Structure 1
Amino acid sequence: MSPRNPLALLGLCLATSAVAALAAAGPAVAEESAENSSKGRVTARSGLILRDKPTRSSRIVGVAPYGRIVHIFCKTGGDPVNGNGVWYLLEDGTWAWASAYYIQNLGSAPRWC
């Protein structure tokens, strides 16, 4: 994400605030959030790399295996992956970012952060 893109930076700040608010609110709010989230299936054959920011150079915090169903909290702009600059904030206990390029939406598209 470029510091020249204020909308992407704002999206990251809002998503970070939302994560902090959910963590402070406790498990009941997190469970309700998961029920209202969008879902997707991991399409990366070697597994989907999960990162701490919506950038290709940020710290790796995990890997989601091929075919796993993930819950998507919201989406924002970030570093393009094969021409797709959308990243999803996953809420499957990791609160990690993943490139939308490797996630097939199941149902409605995620909301913007």
Structure 2
Amino acid sequence: MSLRTVLTRLGIAVAGGALVVGAASPALAGDDWGDHDGSHPRYYKGRISAPGGLRLRDKPTRGSAVIGFAHHGEVVSIFCKTPGESVQGNPLWYLLADGTWAWGAARYIDNIGASPRWC
């Protein structure tokens, strides 16, 4: 196989992957969730209760990559909740809508107002 063919196939695969990620991402889906500052009225609010702050992850598991951090007492915007790896008996994780679209363990995020909807 020629180098040109390999590069063409790689480019097609990368473009296809970007389309899948874009379609699956709430921030890019285009269904009125475009505010990246978390001020949209349909977001839920929570306060970080972890004493040393909370590591934010790319998946709802403790072993996934850390992609952000929220400080103790910080108010965060929550897009939705989903079951994931249990953290001290709590299996729920919140998808935070503060620009990173990262997951935080619900065990360490206290709801302010209504409980978030399911993802």
TM-score range, shorter chain: 0.7 to 0.9
Cα deviation, 1:38-73, whole Å, max 9, x if unaligned, reads 100000111111000000100000110011100100
Tell me whether 1:104 sits opposite 2:110 in the alignment: yes
Q: Distance in 2 between matches of 1:76 and 1:33?
A: 21
Matched, 1:61 2:53: no
State how many pairs are aligned: 95
Structure showing greater relative contact order (alpha-carbon pairs closer than 8 Å, 6 or more residues apart): 1
Per the alignment, in what secondary structure is the counterpart of residue 41 of structure 2?
A: helix
In the TM superposition, residue 112 of structure 1 has moved relative to its aligned partner by 0.3
In structure 1, runs of 5+ residues without a counterpart are: 1-15
Q: Describe how 1:3-22 pairs up with structure 2 within 5 A.
A: 17-19=24-26, 22=27
Query: Sequence identity, in percent?
Result: 51
TM-score with structure 2 setting the length: 0.73
Which structure is higher in helix share? 1
The alignment yields a C-alpha RMSD, in angstroms, of 2.1
Are the counterparts in 2 of residues 34 and 91 from structure 1 also a CA contact under 8 Å?
no
Higher gyration radius (CA)? 2
Gap regions ≥5 residues in structure 2: 1-22
